[in-house]
Structure 1
Amino acid sequence: MNPTAFAAAQWTRATGAGVDPHEYQRITHGLRSVADWGPAFLRVGRSHLQHAEEAGSVRSAGEYLLLAARWFHLATLAPYAEAHQAAAEADHALSRALTLLEPDARRVSGDGFTGWRRGPSDAPGTVIVVPGLDSAKEEFLDLASALLARGLSVFAMDGPGQGVLAATTTLAADYERVVGRAIDALGATRVGLVGLSLGGYLAARAAALEPRVAAVATVSGPFRLDWDELPQPVRGIMARRAGGADAAREFAQHVDLTALAPRIAAPLLVVDGLQDVIPGVTNGESLARLAPHGTYLSVPHGDHLLGNARPHWLPQVSDHLTHTLMGTPA
Structure 2
Amino acid sequence: MNATEFAAAQWTRATGAGVDPHEYRRVTEGLASVTDWGPAFVRTGHTYLQRADNAESSLSAGEYLLTAARWFHLATLAPYAEAHRAAAEADRALGRALPVLEPGARRVSGEGFTGWLRGPADAPGTVVVAPGLDSAKEEFLDLVSALLARGLAVFAMDGPGQGVLAATTTFVPDYERVVGRVVDALGVARIGLVGLSLGGYFAARTAALEPRVAAVATVSGPFRLDWQELPPPVRDLMAQRAGGPDAAHAFVRHVDLAPLAPRIAAPLLVVDGGQDAIPGVTNGEPLARLAPRGSYLSVPHGDHLLGNARPDWLPRLGDHMADSLR
TM range (shorter): over 0.9
SS for the counterpart of 1:167 is coil
d(CA) in 2 for partners of 1:197, 1:39: 25
Residue 313 of structure 1 aligns to a residue whose secondary structure is: helix
Equivalent in the alignment of 2:106: 106
2:183–2:190 contact (8 Å) kept in structure 1: no
Shift of 1:282: 1.4
* Partner residue in 2 for 1:222: 222
- Structure 1 distance, partners of 2:93, 2:99, is 10
Aligned twin of 1:301 = 301
**Which amino acid letter does the alignment assign opposite residue 52 of structure 2?**
A
Counterpart in the other structure of 2:96: 96
Residue-pair matches, total: 326
Which residue number in structure 1 is paired with residue 153 of structure 2?
153
Map of 2:271 onto structure 1: 271
Residue 291 of structure 1 aligns to which amino acid in structure 2? A
1:124–1:190 Cα contact (<8 Å) kept: no
State the Cα deviation string for residues 89-134 of structure 1 (Å, max 9, x = none): 0000000000111111000000000000000111110000000000
Partner of 1:251: 251
Q: How many Å apart are 1:190 and its aligned residue?
A: 3.0
2:239 aligned residue = 239
- Unaligned residue ranges in structure 1 (runs of 5+): none
Distance 1:15 1:102 in 2: 24
Whole-angstrom distance in 2 between the partners of 1:188 and 1:30: 48
Residues of 2 paired with 1:238 and 1:8: CA distance? 22
2:49 is matched with which residue? Answer: 49
1:123 pairs with 2:109: no
Q: How does 1:1-330 map to 2 (within 5 A)?
A: 1-326=1-326
Structure 2 residue runs without a partner (length 5+): none
Do 1:125 and 1:189's aligned partners in 2 also have CA atoms closer than 8 Å? no
State the alpha-carbon separation in 1 of the partners of residues 275 and 304 from structure 2.
7
Rounded to whole Å, the distance in 2 between the matches of 1:185 and 1:16 is: 30
How much identity, in percent, do the aligned residues show?
A: 79
For the residue of structure 2 that corresponds to 1:76, the secondary structure is helix
Spell out structure 1 runs of 4+ moving beyond 4 A.
none
Q: Secondary structure at the match of 1:95?
A: helix
RMSD of the alignment, in Å?
Answer: 0.5
Cα distance in 2, alignment partners of residues 79 and 175 from structure 1: 25
Letter in 1 for 2:103: P
For residue 283 of structure 1, report the CA deviation from its aligned partner. 1.8
Separation in 2, partners of 1:267, 1:89: 36
Decide whether the 8 Å contact of 1:216 with 1:321 is kept in 2. Answer: yes
Aligned-partner Cα distance in 1 for 2:69–2:237: 21
Deviation at 1:37, TM superposition (A): 0.4
CA distance in 1, matches of 2:151, 2:165: 29
TM-score norm. by structure 2 comes to 0.99
